[in-house]
Chains A and B, each alone.
Chain A
Amino acid sequence: MASITGSVEIRVRKPRRTVIAGVLVVGWVAAWFVLRGIDTLAIGGQETTALHRWLTAHRDFLGNGNAFFDAIRIAVEHLVILLQNVLSQPAYGRPVPVVGWLGVVAIAAYLAWAFGNWKVALLAAAGLTFVGLQGLWQESMDTLSLTIAAVALSLLVGIPLGIWAGLSNRAFKVATLILDLMQTLPTFVYLAPLTLFFAIGPAAATIATLIYAAPPVVRLTAHAIRSVPAESVEAARSLGSTGGQTLFKVLLPMSRSTVVVGINQTIMAALSMVTVAALIDAPGLGQTVLKALQTLDVGVAFNAGLAIVVIAIVLDRVTTAAGDRPWRTASVRRRVLLGVGGVAVLVAVWFSRTYLWAAEFPTDVGVGSRIAVTASDVTTWVQDVFGGFTYGVRDAVTEGLLNPLEGLLTESPWWLVTVVIVALAAVLGSWRGAVPAAVCLGLLVATGVWHDSMVTLASTLLATVVVVAVGIVLGVWTGRNQRADSWLRPVLDAGQTMPPFVYLVPFLALFGTSRFTAIAAAVVFAVPVTTKIVADGIRAVPVATVEAANSVGSSSWQVISKVQLPVARRAITLAVNQGLIYVLSMVVVGGLVGAGALGYDVAAGFAQSELYGKGLAAGLAIVLLGVMLDRITQAAARRTRKFS
Chain B
Amino acid sequence: MVTNKLLRSAGVLTAMALALTACGGAKVGDAQQKPAPSGKVCGTVNLTVSPWVGYEANAAVVAYVATKDLGCKVVKKNLKEEIAWQGFSTGEIDVNLENWGHEDLKKKYITDQKVAVEAGPTGNKGVIGWYLPPWLAAAHPELTDWKTLNKNAAMFKTSESGGKGQLLDGDPSFVTNDEALVKNLKLDYKVVYAGSETALIQAFRDAEKNKKPVIGYFYEPQWFFNELKLVKVNLPPYKAGCDAVPEKVACDYPAYALDKIVSKKFADSGSPAYDLVKNFSWTNDDQNQVAKYIAEDKLSPDAAAQKWVEANRSKVDAWLGK
Contact = CB atoms under 8 A, between A and B. Distances in A.
Interface string B14-29: 0100110010011111
Contact of A199 (B80, B92, B203): B92
A508 B22 contact: no
B177 A199 contact: no
Interface stretch (B141-149, B188-196, B268-276): B188-196
Interface string B89-131: 0101100000000101100100000000000000000000000
Contacts of B22: 351, 355, 357-358
A608 interface: yes
Contacts of A293: 198
Contact of B30 (A44, A356, A608): A356
A526 interface: no
Interface residues of A, number: 70
A591 B173 CA distance: 13
Given A593-B194, A596-B195, A200 B77 contact: yes
B312 interface: no
Contact of B173 (A118, A287, A504, A607): A607
Interface string A41-57: 00011100000000000
A513 B82 contact: no
Given A45-B176, A356-B26, A591-B193, A296 B202 contact: yes
Interface in A341-392: 344, 347-348, 351, 353-359, 387
Interface in B270-298: 294-296, 298
Contact of A295 (B4, B108, B210, B223): B223
Interface string B32-52: 110000000000000000011
A294 B92 contact: no
Contacts of A505: 198, 202
A200 B159 contact: no
Nearest to B168: A513
Nearest to A608: B175
A348 B19 CA distance: 9
B201 A296 contact: yes
Interface stretch (A26-34, A218-226, A421-429, A598-606): A598-606
A372 to B, nearest CB: 10
B210 to A, nearest CB: 7
A567 interface: no
A192 B26 contact: no
Given A279-B80, A357-B26, A600-B170, A200 B87 contact: yes
A45 B19 CA distance: 64
Contact of B83 (A200, A296, A508, A512): A200
A279 B223 CA distance: 21
B150 interface: no
A509 interface: yes
A270 interface: no
B236 interface: no
A200 B92 contact: yes
Contacts of A595: 195
A610 interface: yes
Nearest to B49: A281
Interface string A193-223: 0011001110000000000000000000000
A515 B202 CA distance: 16
Contacts of A609: 82, 85, 102, 104-105, 108
A514 B192 CA distance: 9
A635 interface: no
Contacts of B25: 355-358
Contact of B198 (A359, A592, A604): A592
B172 A606 contact: yes
B86 interface: yes
Interface stretch (A246-254, A394-402, A528-536): A394-402
Nearest to A394: B159
Interface centre among B15, B29, B33 (most CB of A within 10 A): B29
A403 B161 CA distance: 11
Contacts of B184: none
A94 interface: yes
A610 B105 CA distance: 9
Contact of B195 (A351, A353, A358, A600): A600
B81 interface: yes
Interface in B154-205: 158-160, 168-170, 172-180, 191-203, 205
B138 interface: no
A607 B172 contact: yes
A290 interface: yes
Contacts of A195: 83, 86-87
Contacts of B176: 45-46
A96 B33 CA distance: 13
Given A594-B192, A600-B193, A514 B158 contact: yes
B8 interface: yes
Contacts of B196: 504, 592-593, 603
Contacts of A118: 4, 7-8
A280 interface: yes
Contacts of B205: 296
A199 B28 CA distance: 34
Contacts of B175: 46, 608
A95 interface: yes
A592 B195 CA distance: 4
B53 interface: yes
Contacts of B30: 356
A50 to B, nearest CB: 16
A516 interface: yes
A46 to B, nearest CB: 6
A295 B2 CA distance: 51
16 contacts: A44-B179, A46-B175, A95-B29, A95-B32, A280-B83, A344-B15, A351-B19, A351-B22, A504-B199, A513-B195, A514-B159, A514-B160, A516-B159, A591-B193, A607-B80, A609-B108
Given A192-B83, A504-B196, A600-B170, 14 more contacts: A45-B178, A95-B33, A200-B83, A294-B197, A295-B223, A358-B25, A504-B199, A509-B206, A513-B199, A591-B172, A592-B198, A606-B82, A606-B172, A607-B80
3 closest A-B pairs by CB: A604-B172, A592-B196, A607-B173
Interface of B: 4, 7-8, 15, 18-19, 22, 25-30, 32-33, 51-53, 56, 77-83, 85-87, 90, 92-93, 102, 104-105, 108, 158-160, 168-170, 172-180, 191-203, 205-206, 210, 223, 246, 294-296, 298
